[in-house]
Amino acid sequence: MNIKILLTVLLMVCITILVCVVCITVLGNNKIVENPLDGVVLEIKENTLTNTGLTLIIKNVAPNNYYVYGSPYQVEKKVNNNWEPVPIREGNYAWTDELRSVSKNSIKEEDLNWEWWLGELSPGNYRVTKDFAYLKPGDLLSNTEYCPISVEFTIDMGIRDGY
């Protein structure tokens, strides 16, 4: 094989690899989201955690994505390295069915009070999970798949008035 052709092919391969590395680096620095739900971040607002509730901060850190969610949430406790649902108190409970949204680069707060359906949480490690969906323009909600997103927290012996 001619050395000139071999060097040309080798140079093209090196340029292709360099372009791929640069693209990945640029996309990573601009926070382009491969999985659309990577744009949703849940946090607990400082000084709001009690054994009966908390204030959830919902952040959409994606520059171009729009997410929807509802009022339901789940509370689970870590038992022997497994997440188990916190038992529901006896009674009749229902969730409202409104659709909520968090638009691109925005933050929302949601007060969660589980005392009415779970009671007071005992000390331990917990997580709150809400289901979110990425909504593209023109999507129908009936065809939307929801994905769970969680935030973990710890209830200590003394937590009552906010942590």
45 and 65 housed in the same domain: yes
50 and 119 housed in the same domain: yes
Over residues 13-32, the mean pLDDT reads 33
Q: Find residue 111's DSSP bridge partners.
A: 55
Give residue for tokens 């520059």: 63
41 and 26 housed in the same domain: no
16 and 49 housed in the same domain: no
84 and 146 housed in the same domain: yes
- Which residues fall within 8 angstroms of residue 118, CB to CB, at 6 or more apart? 75, 86, 87, 88, 89
Report pTM. 0.71
21 and 48 housed in the same domain: no
Q: 84 is in which domain, residue-wise?
A: 36-155
Question: How far apart are alpha carbons 55 and 116 in whole angstroms?
Answer: 16
Question: How far apart are alpha carbons 79 and 153 in whole angstroms?
Answer: 14
Q: Is the pLDDT of residue 85 over 50?
A: yes
Across the chain, what does the average pLDDT equal? 77
67 and 21 housed in the same domain: no
